[in-house]
Amino acid sequence: MTENAKTEKRYWIHAVTPLHVGSGRGVGYIDLPVAREKVTNWPYIPGSAVKGVVADHFGATDAERKANALARAAFGTANDGDTTEANSTAGSLVFTDARIVCLPIRSFYGTFAWVTSPFCLERLKRDLRLELPALRTKAALLTSSTRLAKEDDPKLYLEDLDLDTSKSEEATAYAQAIAGAVFADRPEWQTIFCERFAVVSDDIFTFLSETGTQVDAHIRIEEETGVVASGALWYEESLPVETVLAGTVWCDRVYAKNGEESTVTKGELLSKFCGEPLDLQIGGKASTGKGRVRCLFEAN
């Protein structure tokens, strides 16, 4: 790797509670929708949100960044009010958006399925540089150890959909690769994941990503009357428990104060802040238990 080349790692996010990273007020019946990509309309988590909670996890406050060279190099510092010189620095860690990999959908067999699509996997291969075969099929692809269909009933039943299925070595390879990354520290969950992995068509995946999210109704009760307050009913969308997303983090040129070169290396920053698995809270509704995720990084 050359001196100017970017040092990068892949990261994964696994939702352990419902996850709401919003995009403001909605225009449909959902008042508070989740953030979605403009082109695909698939849910995602902005990279700025991921970087912000990682910084918060490590206590990278303004004061800490000014005192700690590693925190300052990783997350940057704001202008301290000196009007004669712009002395703010940009953080060297760069997080891409975390894009959807598997969406959990209720299944008649196996309780639920981790559902993905061929294009979703192709994009994952490109972004994460995975060496896996291409998938092209009209039927839903299941792994060799699947629990989502029976020998005497080979249909895949997702919500109100019933799909023809085929067991696939390629689907098994993808399931093992994703499970090995997301559940690297939990071998028993690798088995659970592979048993519930399913690849559906891109069109069906888009349909499920729009209709298979969790939508909760919220109300505010008038203390005096004990009934719903006028105008105090709203619907909030969340990514369901077990959702899996992935992205990339890399380290750009590392600066010290006043734009000077830093003695801190890219490897030090990635090892310090993007090494061990992190338990994070992303998005809103933290006081109601939402937004808890596991963030795992590619091994060095």
More confident residue, 232 or 266: 266
Q: What's the number of domains the chain is made of?
A: 1
Q: Tell how many helices (H) and how many strands (E) occur in the chain.
A: 8, 17
- pLDDT category at 142 given cuts 50, 70, 90 is very high
User: Does 181 reside within a domain?
Assistant: no
Under 8 Å between Cβ of 214 and 237: yes
Quote the pLDDT of residue 27.
Answer: 61
User: Does 132 reside within a domain?
Assistant: no
Largest distance between two CA atoms of the chain: 77
Q: Tell me: pLDDT of 225 over 80.
A: no
Cα atoms in the 13 Å half-sphere on the side-chain side of 179: 21
| Best-predicted range by mean pLDDT (4-18, 85-99, 237-251, 286-300) | 237-251
Tokens matching residue 293: 């995720």
Quote the pLDDT of residue 83.
Answer: 46
**CA–CA dist 210, 94 (Å, integer):** 29
- pLDDT category at 274 given cuts 50, 70, 90 is very high
Under 8 Å between Cβ of 102 and 116: yes
More confident residue, 87 or 155: 155
Tokens matching residue 279: 């338990």
Quote the pLDDT of residue 2.
Answer: 39
User: Does 135 reside within a domain?
Assistant: no
User: Does 73 reside within a domain?
Assistant: yes
User: Does 140 reside within a domain?
Assistant: no
Strand 112-116 vs strand 161-163: parallel, antiparallel, or unpaired? unpaired
User: Does 146 reside within a domain?
Assistant: no
Residues of the domain holding 282: 1-21+47-78+87-96+241-300
Mean pLDDT in the chain?
Answer: 86
- Nearest by Cα to 115 from 44, 201, 36: 201
Composition of the chain by helix, strand, coil, percent to 5: 25, 30, 40
User: Does 61 reside within a domain?
Assistant: yes
**CA–CA dist 187, 34 (Å, integer):** 31
Quote the pLDDT of residue 296.
Answer: 95
User: Does 283 reside within a domain?
Assistant: yes
Quote the pLDDT of residue 252.
Answer: 82
Residue with tokens 């390879």: 173
Q: Tell me: pLDDT of 64 over 80.
A: yes
